[in-house]
Structure 1
Amino acid sequence: MTDQSGPLHRRLSQVKDFLTGDRMPTTIPWDPNCTTFPTRKELPKIDGAPDGAAWFWGEDDYIGRLNLLTPTRVAAAAKEITTGEIVPVNLPLHTPSTPGFAREPFAHEIKTLAENIAYDDIYHLNTQSGTQWDGFRHFAHVPSQLFYNFTRGADILGPASNLKCSIHHWSVHGISARGILLDYRTYANQNHISYDPYTPHGISYSELQACGRAQGVDIRPAAQGGDVKIGDVLFVRSGWVDKYNSLGEEERSKLALREHRHGQEDGQRYAGLQQEEAMLDWLHDCYFAAVAGDAPSFEAWPTMESYHLHEYILALWGMPLGEMLDLEKLAEKCRERGRWTFFFTSSPANCEGGVASHVNGTAIF
């Protein structure tokens, strides 16, 4: 990796930091305790990496933006706990009963150890068949075929496979942060924006801004005068779980089994964040520790652009991406309390070599 700035730029940054009280990283690896970080447009080039890669946390770093969850930030996030109310965000393991994207359904067996005395469970599952974290091994930067921090397919599977970007790194570090919910589904209903969560309805940055304003939240990063703090975890409710719950089993299965193929004609179609420059800038510049939604793809699927948000979020920025979280009770509690931030904790699977994990997440007010 190259140094990210010359002597003059470093000196100017040091002077600015002294005058403002801010601290911006001037050397690699970045210090996660810094109070400001470069915007997407300010990112320096890394030798051998795709343009826009933010692989600045160290040669052997496989937790990416989770580095931002420092003891200081976690302690500050814990102050969100005032009433002690607990809201889990996990769908039942068998939901959806028929997963999309041709994934295997969850299966559960009970094993008898001693009749009427002792029993075990046996689970058969695809870690991405329900409430899930997409790990950094899940989706590469397509043009370069590189996963986060110079990880390649040969590192994941084959005779030279290793633990680069394994999901267990997240588990060893831990995930606890301040969460912030944008309830787009309620905003859309209140503003006569009609859409089906089983279609590739794109939620634009300007709509998220308007949704935030309706909630009394300025979604700009704190560095730009907004309410989003470094290390926050973003949640976006698109309404997919709400729609799923309203359908009968036959319709759920029919929609899940739509033909999955690469490209814009993919039969798997879901609402989510829109692929656009403004969205990329915002998702990057807020320095979220992670992002998550209630839909199967987080971003509008299939993409109508030449790229996926997955490529940026996972491969280029190293930011955990959650999908199919149950945000229904969370949104209800936020509306009831008139607040949209909370303490959030998640326990990914400690599986060496793993690609993904169920979220095992909880919001606490």
Structure 2
Amino acid sequence: MAEPKNTSNLRLTQIKDFLTMNKTATTLPWDPDCTKFPSRKELPSIPGAPEEAAWCWGENDYLGRLNFLTPSRVAAAGKEIRTGEIIPVNLPLTIPEAPAFGREPFRHEIKVLAENIAYDDIYHLNTQSGTQWDGFRHFAHIPSGSFYNNTKGEDIVGPHPNQKCSIHHWAEHGIAGRGVLLDYRGYAYKKGINYDPYEYYPISFEQLYLCGKDQGIDIRPQAQGGDIRIGDLLFIRSGWVEQYNLKSSEERNALALRPHALGKDDGQRYAGVSQEQRVLDWLHDCYFAAVAGDAPAFEAWPSHEDYHLHEYILALWGMPLGEMLDLERLATKCRERGRWTFFFSSAPANVPGGVSSHVNGTAVF
């Protein structure tokens, strides 16, 4: 009985698409040029995948939602370039001085090739120590031990590693599209909302919605009547970089070295996006190509739920996750111009087998 019902639903979708000039993703693998995709609650069940996995681009896909950055969408995003003003979003590699979560600090050496004639650089770095993309190898879906698209730990390290979910796949595809900034820190100041970005503070969907409304943006997806387009790149300013710059070296290093342990009692605490279900629905249903923030974890840390946004964003949905981007100048420019969208491009490191990368990102107005 199930097959006739499915056939009937497919025909109904085809009729609706004809009337609305949409193209709905109804078969696997998805066509990235579709104009409508399933909501989080409508995701198809995929054999061998955890519940709520959106591994819908084929068994050998390691781009995830970067598939949405099609030539037509990138070309459309190019129309955001009007004044030609360039705003980089990368912190210096030396910032933070002491990285969070016990990571190694950046070290730079100059190699002398020929005195007064030629020199080289030597970098020693952890790609997670500053402005970064969390790659799909960075964080697994904990209950299943699966990284994006059924990649396992043995694919990453061990006697027979391979290049599943390697960061070089992103580098070869490229990242460029329409960026959307939600300046929650600016909105909080305006509304008298006080919080410390160096403490646990969950930013709810309702707060983000009101922030967007204050900026003149309906943060719902276009399919629900909002302004967010499939393939948009989301940026959220929580104020962490601002506070980092205001603190003394001793203060910020002491905060970075707070004891780190899994669970709600983690000494590492940061403001970020709430793990509530409405946020999960929103992040999924908007079909962002990537999301990023200015804090060390993007999501409020530590999670007070029995799951992390990282598990959904990276492992289940295949959506690049950026952290510690410098959004200070970007927020100032957006406010100055009265517009919160822009063209954005990023060049991840082309490292076969790599886990993550510095963002190397630029906004253009």
Q: TM-score range with shorter-chain normalisation?
A: over 0.9
For 1:1-365, list aligned pairs within 5 A.
6-365=6-365
Q: Residues of 2 paired with 1:142 and 1:10: CA distance? A: 34
RMSD: 0.9
Which runs of structure 1 show a deviation greater than 6 angstroms over 4 or more consecutive aligned residues?
none
Q: Residues of 2 paired with 1:183 and 1:56: CA distance? A: 32
Q: Residues of 2 paired with 1:11 and 1:357: CA distance? A: 44
Q: Residues of 1 paired with 2:265 and 2:161: CA distance? A: 34
The one-letter amino acid paired with 1:342 is F
Unpaired stretches in structure 1, ≥5 consecutive residues: none
CA deviations 1:318-346 (Å, max 9, x no partner) are 00000000000000000000000000000
The one-letter amino acid paired with 1:144 is S
Q: Residues of 2 paired with 1:298 and 1:80: CA distance? A: 25
CA deviations 1:65-93 (Å, max 9, x no partner) are 00000000000000000000000000000
How many residues align? The count is 362
Deviation at 1:7, TM superposition (A): 2.2
Q: Residues of 1 paired with 2:355 and 2:12: CA distance? A: 41
The one-letter amino acid paired with 2:258 is R
Q: Which moved more, 1:84-93 or 1:153-162?
A: 153-162
Q: Secondary structure at the match of 1:101?
A: helix
The one-letter amino acid paired with 1:337 is R
The one-letter amino acid paired with 2:97 is S
Deviation at 1:19, TM superposition (A): 1.1
The one-letter amino acid paired with 1:20 is T
Q: Residues of 2 paired with 1:246 and 1:7: CA distance? A: 60
Unpaired stretches in structure 2, ≥5 consecutive residues: none
Q: Residues of 1 paired with 2:7 and 2:161: CA distance? A: 39
CA deviations 1:286-330 (Å, max 9, x no partner) are 000000000000000000001000000000000000000000000
The one-letter amino acid paired with 1:226 is G
Q: Give aligned-pair identity as a percent.
A: 71
Q: Secondary structure at the match of 1:155?
A: helix
CA deviations 1:164-218 (Å, max 9, x no partner) are 0000000000000000000000101111111000011000000000000110010
Deviation at 1:160, TM superposition (A): 2.1
Q: Residues of 2 paired with 1:323 and 1:110: CA distance? A: 28
TM norm structure 2: 0.98
TM norm structure 1: 0.98
CA deviations 1:1-25 (Å, max 9, x no partner) are xx9x932222221111111111011
CA deviations 1:11-66 (Å, max 9, x no partner) are 22111111111101121110000011110011011111111000001110001000
Q: Secondary structure at the match of 2:101?
A: coil
Q: Secondary structure at the match of 1:79?
A: helix
